[in-house]
Amino acid sequence: METALAELTSGTNRSRTEAVRYALLHTYKELILQQASADAERLAEDLDDQAEMLAIQRFMGVA
């Protein structure tokens, strides 16, 4: 943990608190992207889900 904090603060103006915040947000973003990727794969295989998503997009005026 100390090594990671040292790397995240080294050569930057980040405090330890900012480094922890950065690491948490970066990790959270990666998790969200992984979930979105898994959802996209699942959607690609499910015609009913595709139809529902298209209906929602049309309702929202984005399709």
- Type of residue numbered 2: E
Task: Measure the CA–CA gap between 29 and 36, rounded to whole angstroms.
Answer: 10
Cα separation, 10 vs 24, in Å, equals 17
Q: Domain map of the chain by residue range? A: 2-60
| C-alpha radius of gyration, the chain, whole number | 19
Give residue-wise pLDDT tens across range 12-57: 999 999 999 999 999 999 999 999 999 889 888 999 989 998 999 9
**pLDDT over threshold 90, residue 63:** no
- How open is the CA angle 35-39-45, to the nearest 5 degrees? 150
- In this prediction the pTM is 0.66
For 45-51, which contacts have Cβ atoms below 8 Å and span 24 or more sequence positions?
A: none
